[in-house]
Structure 1
Amino acid sequence: MKRQAYRPILITDASRSQDDQLTSRQRRYVVMMSVRVACVIVGAILVGAKAPLLWLWLPLVALGMVLIPWVAVLLANDRPPKERHRLANRFSARPEAAAPPAPMSLAAEERPHRVIDAEP
């Protein structure tokens, strides 16, 4: 049976930890909810001050108050896509997937063997 060629794992290929992913999603959610709070405050100020073009600004602020929470929840629950299964490339019809990777070291059959003779 032929051995697989050695392929080192690069640290740049490692995925982010679950804690890092959760922290970044929480930050994104807090920022988006802060924008929503700002929309509520701006809407209240516009109504209280009877601003010109209120008929234009109020629907824009209301749209922000409605759409931002929906998008924030979707993005907070989002996670990176799963990696493809390790056997998926074996059965792929793509030519680049069919080519074997370049070996990083000599196979066991190609290495020079050290012979130790026990008899004088």
Structure 2
Amino acid sequence: MGRVTTNRETRNEPVLITEAQPSLGDQHAARKKRYVITMLIRIVSVMLAAIFYQTLWLMAIFAVLGTVLPWIAVVMANDRPPKKKVDVNRYEVPAPDRILEARPSAGRVIDSEP
């Protein structure tokens, strides 16, 4: 039987704790909080639409907002957090084995001593 290698065994760089994703519980709590806040804004906008029923344009704005916000809240609650951008060059690059020497420029004369 062949040995199964994991990603950790084949990786040369150390795993940084700052690259760790938030736990699923933390992600779920953040999504619930966003959903509740959005729905509270919806309740306020529906109440404001009822209060401003005599001003038609203001009532229409609050009514549309109260109608659209549940859809936005559900989409935001089901969305996952964005992936973190990983900086590829975060580690020092080892020095090369050999270094090329600079060539003299064409217009420059180098004196050579015999």
Question: Which category describes the TM-score, using the shorter chain as reference length?
Answer: 0.5 to 0.7
Q: 1:58 is matched with which residue?
A: 59
**Shift in CA distance, 6/73, structure 1 to aligned 2, threshold 3 Å:** same
**Is residue 5–residue 102 contact of structure 1 (8 Å, CA) maintained in 2?**
no
Higher relative contact order (CA 8 A, sep 6+): 1
- Given residue 7 of structure 1, which amino acid in structure 2 is its aligned partner? E
- Stretches of 4+ moved more than 6 A in 1? none
Give per-residue Cα distances to partners, 1:40-85, cap 9 Å, x unaligned.
Answer: 11111112xx3xxx121011011101111100000001113579xx
Q: 2:102 is matched with which residue?
A: none
* SS of the residue 1:64 aligns to: helix
Output the TM-score relative to the length of structure 2: 0.61
Identify the match of residue 36 of structure 1 among 42, 45, 48.
42
Output the TM-score relative to the length of structure 1: 0.58
- Given residue 79 of structure 1, which amino acid in structure 2 is its aligned partner? R
What's the % identity of the aligned pairs?
Answer: 38
In the alignment of these two chains, the number of paired residues is 80
- In the alignment, structure 1 segments of 5+ residues that lack a partner are 84-95, 104-120
RMSD between aligned residues: 2.6
